[in-house]
Amino acid sequence: MTVLGKIVKSNSHTDYVCQIYGKHEIESVPTNVDYAFGTFVSIDLNEYSALIGLIYDTVLLNPDFGRLGPRLSTESDLALFSPDYLNERATIVGIVIVGQVNNGSCRQGTPYIAANSDSLVRRLPEDDILGFHEVESRLRIGYLPQLIQRPDPLTRQLALAVVQQLGHLMPQQIPLLNLLEDDLCWQLQISAMGRT
């Protein structure tokens, strides 16, 4: 599993903030494709269990933005003359929790246990995504209503991204997933008309 970063804060029991690892923090630095909108991730709880979540937001932090004054040192000079200088640029992503895996057993919905600060966040491999959504070859998306009810305006887009991903991973479920996709597209159009 690709390690993306670590948990730095939570907004609620099911809403976490992960700081993506940058240069010099990890050997293989994640690319923006690794933490794209709708990416399934796991957050380590312990050796045997993890929270399962979806990336729903990305924020770029750059404290140098807006500082228009002259610079005394270039970035390459800082690395040479001030090795203790902290690069305060960061990428953080929002993660909404949709379930938990404990000893290989999957449970969708709100988990009972919360993650800790500094818990590792990893990109979930396709096999694990399938395992989270399949029970005896049947599709399971029990967290979808909870996801759609979130107050964030992008939640229906997130649900649509999930349904489309599952369509690629589970071609045998295409008829059902197409129905869900059509319904979500309709909801997106109706909600957009309500805002005008």
What pLDDT, on a 0 to 100 scale, did the predictor assign at position 196? Answer: 45
Q: Give residue-wise pLDDT tens across range 131-167.
A: 999 988 889 999 999 999 888 888 989 999 999 999 9
Helices 126-133 + 155-169 axis angle, to 10: 100
The helix/strand/coil state of 76 is helix
Least confident piece of the model among 37-46, 50-59, 129-138: 129-138
Indicate left, alpha or beta for 173 from its phi (over 0: left) and psi (-120 to 50: alpha).
alpha
Q: For 93-121, what is each residue's pLDDT tens digit?
A: 999 999 999 998 999 999 999 999 999 99
Question: Domain extents for the chain?
Answer: 3-140
Q: Coil, strand or helix: which one is 22?
A: coil
